[in-house]
């Protein structure tokens, strides 16, 4: 079994799509190990997205992720990292995410693309430690 860090981003919370995201996670066969509504500090946002520091969209990304509450979750199960990335769909909701995925079904913009999921075991370990240090 594997763990991954999932966020429902501020657009998803604002639009009332938290239940939809959680329902798909559970129907896939994954389970929640932690779940919390959070407002992200600038500091945590910078650490979470440290790999994008220096990119042209970095400041905008930090503004977006701190713009309202997010739902943070640790999701657990067999192949949880890849399984949630499959549920999420590609980063660009129109060009990459396919219908049937969360981004393909519920998002249009590259930045406000509804959800985050860790992209590797190393990222998952780092992000879970950042968001849920007691786990
Ligand atoms: P996350 O699960 O959120 O990490 O998405 P990802 O792994 O599919 O994409 P990536 O880590 O490459 O980018 C992180 C986030 O930055 C994306 O989900 C978008 O919200 C945002 N982002 C990525 N590329 C762009 C871009 O070209 N322009 C803008 N405005 N935002 C971007
Ligand atoms: Mg990423």
The encoded tokens of residue 100 equal 């049937």
ipTM of the complex: 0.94
User: Residue 46's pLDDT band (boundaries 50, 70, 90)?
Assistant: very high
Are 75 and 84 within 8 A, CB to CB? yes
Q: What is the position in ligand 1's atom list of the atom closest to the CA of 51? A: 11
* Predicted pLDDT at 108: 98
Q: What is the position in ligand 1's atom list of the atom closest to the CA of 111? A: 20
Per-residue pLDDT, averaged over 42-54, amounts to 98
pTM: 0.97
User: Residue 53's pLDDT band (boundaries 50, 70, 90)?
Assistant: very high
Give yes or no for residue 22 CB within 6 A of ligand 1: no
Nearest protein CA to atom 2 of ligand 1, as residue: 116
Range 26-59 burial, b when 16+ CB lie within 10 A, else e: eeeebeebbeeeeebeeebbbebbeeeeeeeeee
* Predicted pLDDT at 111: 98
pLDDT, tens digit, for every residue of 55-110?
999 999 999 999 999 999 999 999 999 999 999 999 999 999 999 999 999 999 99
DSSP sequence for the chain: -EEEEEEE-HHHHHTT-HHHHHHHHHHHT-EEEEEEEEPPPHHHHHHHTGGGTTSTTHHHHHHHHTSS-EEEEEEEETTHHHHHHHHH--SSTTTTPPBTBHHHHH--SSSS-SEEE--SHHHHHHHHHHH-TT-
| Residue 113 labelled as part of a binding site | yes
| Residue 106 labelled as part of a binding site | no
Unique residue bearing structure tokens 């329902």: 23
Domain count, the chain: 1
Spot the catalytic one: 3, 24, 48, 116. 116
Q: Which ligand has the minimum distance to the alpha carbon of residue 6? A: 1
Are 131 and 72 within 8 A, CB to CB? yes
* Predicted pLDDT at 120: 98
Which range marks the domain in which residue 29 is found? 2-131
pLDDT, tens digit, for every residue of 104-126?
999 999 999 999 999 999 999 99
CATH code for the domain in which residue 15 is found: 3.30.70.141
Give yes or no for residue 91 CB within 6 A of ligand 1: yes
48 catalytically annotated: no
């Amino acid at each position: 079994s594997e763990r991954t860090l999932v966020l429902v981003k501020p657009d998803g919370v604002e639009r009332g799509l938290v239940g939809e995201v959680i329902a798909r996670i559970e129907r896939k066969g994954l389970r929640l190990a932690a779940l919390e509504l959070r407002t992200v500090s600038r500091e945590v946002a910078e650490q979470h997205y440290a790999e994008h520091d220096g990119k042209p969209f970095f400041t905008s990304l930090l503004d977006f992720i701190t713009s309202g509450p997010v739902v943070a979750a640790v999701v657990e199960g067999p192949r949880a990292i890849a399984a949630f990335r499959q549920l999420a769909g590609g980063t660009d909701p129109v060009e990459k995410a396919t219908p049937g995925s969360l981004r393909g079904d519920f998002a249009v913009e590259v930045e406000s693309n509804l959800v985050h999921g860790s992209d590797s075991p190393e990222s998952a370990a780092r992000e879970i430690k950042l968001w849920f240090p007691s786990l």
